Amino acid sequence: MARIIDGKAHAAALREEAGRRARRMLELTGVQPGLSVVIVGDDPASRLYVKNKGEQAAAAGFRSETHTLPETISQDELLDLVARLNLDPAVHGILVQLPLPAHMDAQAVLAAIDPAKDVDGFHVINAGRLAVGLPALVPCTPLGCLRLLKAELDQLKGLEAVVVGRSNIVGKPMAQLLLQADCTVTIAHSRTRDLPQVCRRADILVAAVGRAEMIRGDWIKPGATVIDVGINRVPSRDPAKAAEGKTRVVGDVAFDEAVEVAGAITPVPGGVGPMTIACLLDNTLTAAARILERDPAEFA
Ligand SMILES: NC(=O)C1=CN([C@@H]2O[C@H](COP(=O)(O)OP(=O)(O)OC[C@H]3O[C@@H](n4cnc5c(N)ncnc54)[C@H](OP(=O)(O)O)[C@@H]3O)[C@@H](O)[C@H]2O)C=CC1
Ligand SMILES: Nc1nc(=O)c2c([nH]1)NC[C@@H]1CN(c3ccc(C(=O)N[C@@H](CCC(=O)O)C(=O)O)cc3)C=[N+]21
């Protein structure tokens, strides 16, 4: 039986540390780190994540604001808001929740965010800095995965890592971080031939696909460390509840099978998800420190 990696507990510890560091920053510089979250439209799941982000930032002693804009807003109006936030000295981190409505060009919006305040790490400047090994703001989800891996494993050096998924927000930056940690990295995707066989090579398997329970137990090398990024809503197990439209959340890995084979595995929920939000606070501190021209390590 695999060890279950408790992302919730790791995230709580990281949030507490972020709270201590925010207080230290306020003491030493008089500046309170500030996070501004922008959401367009009223997708209920997105609204819930954004609410959690705002509440957890406030609970950790950050200045936290949320801008909720109607679905019908124009891209120019959104760009105006981003421009104002770029100039606002109280805002050190800007996050524009994705996905954006179909009438907007998400790349254009992300490109308008000041890279120094891009706590999602989605701006091409930050993606490029990560790729060449310069200090960067790194996307929160892969950062959270790396933290869990480092806590779980003595050493990443030399391990075979397989990342399933190549999105700009999870798969690609995850692969960059694993490469930087001296893993031998394979990136698999929808055109990969014989995905089960590729997965079986992995000492570290990161699933970021968006397909409920696609990765089966017999795709996993015995003893491997499995990080499940997927968040998929499926009908409730109880047919009566399912008929009422009740759902539950599952990952991209068939957990009940994988837990029998893996050495360690993250659950969904309670794995990577909570770490993503905790890393957002960490990134906001990093951004604030750099904007103040201070070493983030000063606020330990
Ligand atoms: N826990 C968290 O904090 C977060 C969770 N997520 C979740 O992670 C998952 C992935 O998110 P994201 O990266 O944004 O998703 P995207 O849809 O952007 O990317 C999915 C990737 O999976 C690949 N893929 C799709 N189908 C298959 C298949 N059958 N076999 C192999 N590869 C396949 C795609 O390949 P191709 O490129 O060839 O199309 C693509 O590269 C989702 O469930 C999402 O909800 C996302 C962000 C944060
Ligand atoms: N600009 C932007 N940045 C993001 O980081 C971003 C985004 N847009 N759009 C959507 C995805 C998704 N995402 C999650 C964050 C937390 C949980 C999370 O806390 N999950 C809990 C609860 C899951 C549940 O029950 O729904 C858990 O896994 O335990 C999940 C998913 C951030 N994303």
Tell me the per-residue pLDDT of 232-284, one tens digit each, with 9 for 90 and over: 999 999 999 999 999 999 999 999 999 999 999 999 999 999 999 999 999 99
Alpha-carbon gap, residue 190 to 177, rounded angstroms: 22
Alpha-carbon gap, residue 88 to 110, rounded angstroms: 17
In this prediction, what percent of the chain has a pLDDT beyond 70? Answer: 100
Whether 49 is in the pocket of ligand 2, judged by its Cβ within 6 Å, is yes
98 occurs within a structural domain:
yes
**DSSP state letter for 99:** S
Tell me how many domains the chain contains: 2
Alpha-carbon gap, residue 35 to 46, rounded angstroms: 17
For the stretch 27-55, pLDDT in tens is 999 999 999 999 999 898 899 999 999 99
Q: Are residues 170 and 239 in the same domain?
A: yes
- Residue-range definition of the domain harbouring residue 81: 30-114
Q: Are residues 82 and 149 in the same domain?
A: no
**Confidence check: pLDDT of 146 > 90:** yes
Residue recorded with tokens 């068939």: 254
| Mean residue pLDDT across the chain | 97
Q: Are residues 159 and 252 in the same domain?
A: yes
User: Within 13 Å, how many C-alpha atoms sit on residue 127's CB side?
Assistant: 14
291 occurs within a structural domain:
no
Pocket test for ligand 1, best of 141, 170, 276 (most atoms within 8 A of CB): 170
Number of Cβ within 10 Å of residue 292's Cβ equals 18
Is the pTM higher than 0.95? yes
Q: Which pLDDT belongs to residue 300?
A: 87
CATH classification at residue 40: 3.40.50.10860
Q: Are residues 204 and 153 in the same domain?
A: yes
> Which residue type occupies 223?
G
Q: Which residue CA neighbors atom 2 of ligand 1 most closely?
A: 273
Report which secondary-structure segment, H or E, holds 104: none
In this prediction, what percent of the chain has a pLDDT beyond 90? Answer: 98
Q: Which structure tokens are listed for 55?
A: 């509440």
Q: Are residues 144 and 109 in the same domain?
A: no
* CA-based end-to-end distance of the chain: 37
Among all bound ligands, the one having the nearest atom to the CA of 166 is 1
Residue length of the chain: 300
51 occurs within a structural domain:
yes
Q: Which residue CA neighbors atom 11 of ligand 2 most closely?
A: 98
Q: Are residues 144 and 269 in the same domain?
A: yes
For the stretch 100-127, pLDDT in tens is 999 999 999 999 999 999 999 999 999 9
23 occurs within a structural domain:
no
**Dihedrals phi, psi of 204, to nearest 5 degrees:** -120, 120
Whether 268 is in the pocket of ligand 2, judged by its Cβ within 6 Å, is yes
260 occurs within a structural domain:
yes
